[in-house]
Structure 1
Amino acid sequence: MDWDKLRIFHAVADAGSLTHAGDRLNLSQSAVSRQIRALEESLNATLFHRHARGLILTEQGELLFDATSAMNKRLDAASARIRDSEEEVFGDLRVTTTIGFGTLWLAPRLAKLYEQYPDLRVDLMLEERVLDLPMREADVAIRMKEPSQADLIRKRLMTVKMQVFATQAYLDENGVPEVPEDMSMHRLICQSVNATQVGASASLAQHLLTYDVRSLLTVNNYFGVLQGVLQDLGLGILPDYVSLDEDRLIRVLPEIQSADVPVFLAYPEELRQSQRIAAFRDFVQEEITAYRKGLKEKQIV
């Protein structure tokens, strides 16, 4: 099968348009169209349905696109390993983690990583969906549970607890809750118990909701919960690490907290020798050490 035709097919399938694919490949629309026709003839199959809104893959086209996508990811992995220098850290690094951890803990600390490695280009992908590391949807992941995929190197970084926080301004106006039953006089800010999140957080929210809270505000990520708390809207369920970086947060109901949530760093076995991965791993571990130290000092005070 002609590799060049497969490359052009993949670009068309990804773009959904001959014109857009041609722009990416620096080819004319007619040249792209000829290559697609030739590929369809060689396979004796129709790969696209022509539609007014663009091109739609046929069943045969979907099968071929799955294959070319897997090929591209393997080629990306090989290219990344070839580009890795034994002494220098540079190039692209795709990092995936949850929206909450990425926005509230990781992103604010990345300036230190760039100070050390100015030629590194980080693509931070924040989503609750677990990306497939062996298939190279990302290079490295920080996850709130131990990864189950095979062929991954994994390291447990720390544990997180979900706790309840408010601002002093909110407490001055609404009073400090002393026992869980006091939730009937307060607004709770949390993620919806049906939203994608760690089970410990959903369990804590469900528990507090049994106390007939006066009002409820749900947000689909912890960054939004934090903003609601900082705007003095109510009592918010947040990861404990947020309180170290945000002085305005005051913990309430200290006897109420979630079970431990483990935090793991993982990356594919084939990237074991990657200098970019090693640099990021060491950076995160150093920041975790500093975080633990700061947390202990705060608890002592």
Structure 2
Amino acid sequence: MPGNSVKDWNNLHYALAVARAGTLSGAALELDVSHSTVLRRIDALEKALKTRLFIRHPRGYVPTEAGQLLMGAAENMQDQLDLLVGRMQGVDETLQGTLIITTVNTLIPQLMPIMRGFQLENPQVRLQLVADRRHLRLEHGEAHIGIRPGAKPTEPDYVVQPGVSLQNTLYASEAYLRECGPLKSRDDLSGHRFIAPVETYDFIPSLDWLARQVPEEQIVFRCNEFSGFEDAARCGVGIAALHSWCAEARPGLLRMIEPPAEWRTNLWLVTHRDMHRTRKVQLFLEWIKRQLARLPPHIGVKP
């Protein structure tokens, strides 16, 4: 006799979601569960049936012949259930579940109004924000959407769309200006103090300029977190190269020079191909692209 794992419709439901999505991560997004939960359900069902339902490939899950038979039956069951629910309650197209978004911590204050606006439009979607300098692995279901500044992501199977090209320039506090005076140009560095990262970021033009053009003795403070640049500049430590979106959203910082065109940093919207077309992902992408397009020119321009 088959075990309880076969009799549990949830296990068949999970298997059907994997067959439709082709990957565990795609099924996890649709079911609003973790990647590991889907894997556990599939393993339990295969163990109970004593047969392999999916062939595991590097690019996804493909049903075996036995899996195709079971998925066909599960499709019929799902169709009948959907029909019954539709007759009893009407078709409910309200979005539900959790959408995981990852970005760098410096962009959190700027993204919060955008995320709040999305939730007002879609109140049943729970947003989860993961701030990490590490690029979370979308193919493993660590996040559904990445919002990444800098170099264009090149991971295979990722869908990468331009968001906005962020203006960057040099900022300092009023106290610093009273002490050291204005910065007349990028060539007039004498008598000024600067804030720089610990590591080298040659793919970020403004930070690459700092590393190449500012004498080491004028670098008076280094920090391994981008948010520390802003805090140090606001305290009068020195001049920092910052995204204008970040620097001009909070009081206490003044622009030292006009943003050089070659210092712009592209902001990328990144999804995995298996989740890119899901409804929640598409709605959020459409929403954030509209909001980014409304940024004033001194903050962001069309890439």
What is the TM-score with the length of structure 2 in the denominator? 0.63
Check the 8 A contact 1:164/1:257 in 2, yes or no: no
2:171 pairs with 1:171: no
2:286 pairs with 1:286: no
Letter in 1 for 2:253: L
2:192 pairs with 1:186: yes
Check the 8 A contact 1:204/1:257 in 2, yes or no: no
Letter in 2 for 1:100: T
2:217 pairs with 1:204: no
Check the 8 A contact 2:97/2:126 in 1, yes or no: yes
Q: Compute the RMSD of aligned alpha carbons.
A: 3.3
Q: How does 1:212-231 map to 2 (within 5 A)?
A: 212-213=217-218, 215-231=219-235
2:122 pairs with 1:123: no
Per the alignment, do residues 137 and 88 of structure 1 end up closer, same or farther by CA in structure 2, a change over 3 Å counting? Answer: same
What is the TM-score with the length of structure 1 in the denominator? 0.63
Letter in 1 for 2:120: E
Per the alignment, do residues 135 and 188 of structure 1 end up closer, same or farther by CA in structure 2, a change over 3 Å counting? Answer: same
Aligned to 1:77: 26
Aligned to 1:26: none
Check the 8 A contact 2:25/2:139 in 1, yes or no: no
- In 2, Cα distance between the equivalents of 1:146 and 1:158? 12
Check the 8 A contact 2:168/2:259 in 1, yes or no: no
Q: Deviations over 1:155-199 (max 9, x none)?
A: 1111124310012232123211224455342221232243x6843
Stretches of structure 2 lacking an aligned partner (at least 5 in a row)? 5-21, 34-90
2:277 pairs with 1:273: yes
Check the 8 A contact 2:114/2:288 in 1, yes or no: no
Check the 8 A contact 2:245/2:300 in 1, yes or no: no
Count how many residue pairs are aligned between Structure 1 and Structure 2.
224
Q: Percent identity?
A: 18
Stretches of structure 1 lacking an aligned partner (at least 5 in a row)? 5-72
Q: Deviations over 1:277-301 (max 9, x none)?
A: 122212211220121467489xxxx
Per the alignment, do residues 207 and 108 of structure 1 end up closer, same or farther by CA in structure 2, a change over 3 Å counting? Answer: farther
Check the 8 A contact 2:166/2:300 in 1, yes or no: no
Check the 8 A contact 2:195/2:233 in 1, yes or no: yes
What is the SS of the residue equivalent to 1:206? helix
Per the alignment, do residues 150 and 256 of structure 1 end up closer, same or farther by CA in structure 2, a change over 3 Å counting? Answer: closer
Q: CA deviation at 1:151?
A: 2.0
Q: Deviations over 1:128-158 (max 9, x none)?
A: 2222212222111112222212222221111
Check the 8 A contact 2:205/2:264 in 1, yes or no: yes
Aligned to 1:261: 265
What is the SS of the residue equivalent to 1:78? helix
